A and B are shown apart, each in its own frame.
Chain A
Amino acid sequence: METVIDYIDRVLTRGLDAVVILLAGLLLVLLNYAVFTRFVLNESVSWSEELPSHLLATLTFVGAAYLTRTNEHIGFDGVIRLMPKAMQKAVFALNLMAMTVFGATMAWYGTIATLSFGSRALISIDLPMALFRGAMPLGCALIALICAVRLIALLTGRLSADDLLPETDA
């Protein structure tokens, strides 16, 4: 039977997947629209650089949380694979602890930074800056949450060290 945590995990993963697809598609459409207006209509849109670069930053942090969930961030597994299983487990537990602290710290300072921008809008288009800057604390908070849940799962035996070996294909 599906537990509450499993349900949240499933919804969260689907949500992150949808946002990543949406942002990649949106960037594709917006950039082509900007090219169309510049070369065909001979009139550049004002947001042609600022909006895509902010959307890319949004994709970065939301996508980073998604990749943390799917364990697809690249890493080097040459040394860790040589360690005995018990040692691998201890090392991964320490890693997850450090990653949780990192995510939480970045979420905290990201929130402070986002709030400091108040109601300021982007320069070229009337969209609140917090909409984009908020992706950093949100993504990092999710990273902290995902790592903390994985740490508990690892320590309680619901997750093995093999499940946490890093992706090695860039």
Chain B
Amino acid sequence: MPIEPGYLILILLVVLVCTGMPIAFVLGVTAMTMILLDPAVVPQIMGLIPFGGANNYLLVAALLFMIAGEVMNQGRIAEKLIAFASALVGHIRGGLAHVNILTSLFFSEISGTATSDAAAIGSVMIPQMKKRGYPVAFAAAVTSTSATMAIIVPPSLNLILYAYVADSSIAQLFAAGILPGIMVCFLLMITAYLISVRRGYPVEHAFAARRVLSTGKDALIPITLPVLILVGILGGIFTATEAGAVAALWSIVLAAVLYRTLTVSRFVDVLRVAGKRSAMLMFIVATSTLLGWYLTNQRIPQDIAQAILGISDNYWVVLLAINAFFLIAGTIVHGTPAILMLVPIFLPLADQLGIDRVHFGLIVTINLGIGQQTPPVASVVLITCAIARISLAAIIPSMLWFIGAMLVALLLVNLFPALSLWLPAVIL
């Protein structure tokens, strides 16, 4: 009996991923094999579809936000945001942990990626926390888990990708990410507070409105960047790509003129880094588009949806299964390929269950964000460990409470769709 295409694809994907082949090639080689083996498919399609996938105006935004984030990194803005966050929350028990988390929220709205967030904030905050007597593992755990907010709040790269794959409004997704992002921040701060009280971690200083005002002045300028992005996109003034262009230009002006940290050679480096990251992402998009075309051509996503609904058509059971799947997938695959490979498969199922696509986007993103806080794929954790100079094994126990807090946030987003859908409904 010939093997079903769906099973063959699954086997190929799993085997090739395990061989260490780059993800973009895993998708491409699988698609090529299936197309060449299928006499019903014209192979010439391979010359057209990948280019069509990469030829995408919306995804130009990802490159532009990467440029903006990289330029702002050069401007040492993390230190300004930390001073402001310290003035706001440094007086709470476990002050530096809260400063770390709140700065992450501010920085997330500039960087768009969790790795940049962890690297920029971790390199300043972890040594400071260490000096103040916090255990290194705790400092690293706070840094790593709070960096997850970068993939929930705008301009999250994962949300841009999801918008492309699910054919959803990027403005709605960006608006939908704001409340869950703030909620994750709040829950992480509660967790840090409870741990700090129990272990007797220090407060930094008494609250002083004057300090808030003086540090706020310095932080105001970098914060104009996310404000520009949010007001521009949510106000219907810019498309996401235009907002990316303006954000990149504004960050260059700030770094070159105001902070005087951006030299020509650094700018060339920024273009190189952003260009390479964008190409990496887009090559995965190109090859996943080819595989996605084959899957759709064979009606495999619809068959999977039917098979799952055949087991149970209970909304909550299926939603739980989807959550579990994305959570596990997030631990073994990066966010980018996970969204590009899995969302097209699960989207028909979400549609049949009546889950709003914007709500589903947030569920997917938060699951993948949590999944990426655990090995084997844990790039954010690994970066944090490198900065803190501790092993992966040493950081894991300290991370468990914070991962638990994020799971609570995930549960709430699942149970109450309004958490993600209310804001887009109000402002768009």
Residues of A participating in the B interface, judged by any CB pair closer than 8 Å: 17, 20-21, 23-25, 27-28, 31-32, 34-35, 38, 49, 52-54, 56-57, 59-64, 66-67, 70, 72-80, 91-92, 94-95, 98-99, 101-102, 105-106, 108-114, 132-133, 136-137, 164-170
Known: A28-B245, A74-B280, A109-B44. 10 other contacts (CB 8 A): A24-B67, A59-B279, A62-B279, A67-B276, A74-B22, A76-B17, A78-B377, A92-B20, A110-B47, A170-B379
Residues of B within 8 A of A114 (CB): 47
Contact bitstring B54-65, A, C-beta under 8 A = 1, else 0: 111101100110
Query: Are B377 and A31 in contact, with the CB atoms below 8 A?
Result: no
Query: Are B242 and A74 in contact, with the CB atoms below 8 A?
Result: no
Q: Is B401 an interface residue (CB 8 A)?
A: no
The B59-83 residues at the A interface (CB cut-off 8 A) are 59-60, 63-64, 67
Query: Are B32 and A105 in contact, with the CB atoms below 8 A?
Result: yes
Query: Are A106 and B28 in contact, with the CB atoms below 8 A?
Result: yes
Query: Are B46 and A56 in contact, with the CB atoms below 8 A?
Result: no
Query: Are A76 and B376 in contact, with the CB atoms below 8 A?
Result: yes
Pick 8 A–B contacts, CB within 8 A, sort by A. A20-B276, A21-B272, A63-B279, A66-B276, A76-B333, A79-B20, A95-B16, A166-B20
Residues of A within 8 A of B19 (CB): 79-80, 91-92, 94-95
Query: Are B332 and A76 in contact, with the CB atoms below 8 A?
Result: yes
A105 to chain B, nearest CB (A): 6
A119–B51 Cα distance when bound, in Å, is 18
Given A76-B376, A99-B29, answer yes or no on A52-B279 (Cβ-Cβ < 8 Å).
no
A56–B28 Cα distance when bound, in Å, is 19
Q: Is B135 an interface residue (CB 8 A)?
A: no
Query: Are B246 and A35 in contact, with the CB atoms below 8 A?
Result: yes
Query: Are A60 and B63 in contact, with the CB atoms below 8 A?
Result: no
| CB-nearest residue of chain A to B68 | A28
Given A77-B20, A95-B20, answer yes or no on A113-B48 (Cβ-Cβ < 8 Å).
yes
A31–B333 Cα distance when bound, in Å, is 32
A111–B244 Cα distance when bound, in Å, is 33
Residues of A within 8 A of B18 (CB): 76, 79-80
Contact partner of A31 (CB less than 8 A), chosen from B29, B44, B241, is: B241
| CB-nearest residue of chain B to A165 | B20
Interface centre among B47, B248, B383 (most CB of A within 10 A): B47
A17–B269 Cα distance when bound, in Å, is 10
A105–B48 Cα distance when bound, in Å, is 12
Q: Is B274 an interface residue (CB 8 A)?
A: yes
Query: Are A61 and B271 in contact, with the CB atoms below 8 A?
Result: no
B373 to chain A, nearest CB (A): 14
Residues of B participating in the A interface, judged by any CB pair closer than 8 Å: 16-26, 28-29, 32, 36, 43-48, 50-51, 54-57, 59-60, 63-64, 67, 113, 115, 238, 241-242, 244-246, 248-249, 268, 271-272, 274-276, 278-280, 282-283, 285-286, 332-337, 375-377, 379, 382-383
Contact partner of B56 (CB less than 8 A), chosen from A23, A32, A53, A136, is: A53
A98–B45 Cα distance when bound, in Å, is 19
A146 to chain B, nearest CB (A): 12
Interface centre among B55, B238, B335 (most CB of A within 10 A): B55
| CB-nearest residue of chain A to B26 | A75
B224 to chain A, nearest CB (A): 17
Query: Are B334 and A170 in contact, with the CB atoms below 8 A?
Result: yes
Query: Are A72 and B32 in contact, with the CB atoms below 8 A?
Result: no
| CB-nearest residue of chain B to A110 | B47
Residues of B within 8 A of A23 (CB): 275
Contact partner of A56 (CB less than 8 A), chosen from B20, B55, B274, is: B55
Query: Are A105 and B46 in contact, with the CB atoms below 8 A?
Result: yes
Interface centre among B23, B25, B274 (most CB of A within 10 A): B25
| CB-nearest residue of chain B to A105 | B32
Query: Are B29 and A102 in contact, with the CB atoms below 8 A?
Result: yes
Query: Are A27 and B64 in contact, with the CB atoms below 8 A?
Result: yes
B352 to chain A, nearest CB (A): 31
Residues of B within 8 A of A102 (CB): 25, 28-29, 32
Residues of A within 8 A of B50 (CB): 106, 110, 136
A60–B56 Cα distance when bound, in Å, is 11
Query: Are A31 and B244 in contact, with the CB atoms below 8 A?
Result: yes
A133–B52 Cα distance when bound, in Å, is 10
| CB-nearest residue of chain B to A80 | B20
A117–B382 Cα distance when bound, in Å, is 46
A70–B279 Cα distance when bound, in Å, is 13
Residues of B within 8 A of A101 (CB): 29, 32
B119 to chain A, nearest CB (A): 10
Query: Are A64 and B47 in contact, with the CB atoms below 8 A?
Result: no
Query: Are B22 and A166 in contact, with the CB atoms below 8 A?
Result: yes
Residues of A within 8 A of B32 (CB): 101-102, 105-106
Query: Are B245 and A21 in contact, with the CB atoms below 8 A?
Result: no
| CB-nearest residue of chain B to A114 | B47
A105–B32 Cα distance when bound, in Å, is 8
Residues of A within 8 A of B60 (CB): 27, 31, 52-53, 56
Residues of B within 8 A of A57 (CB): 51, 54-56, 282, 286
Residues of A within 8 A of B36 (CB): 105
Residues of A within 8 A of B245 (CB): 28, 31-32, 34-35
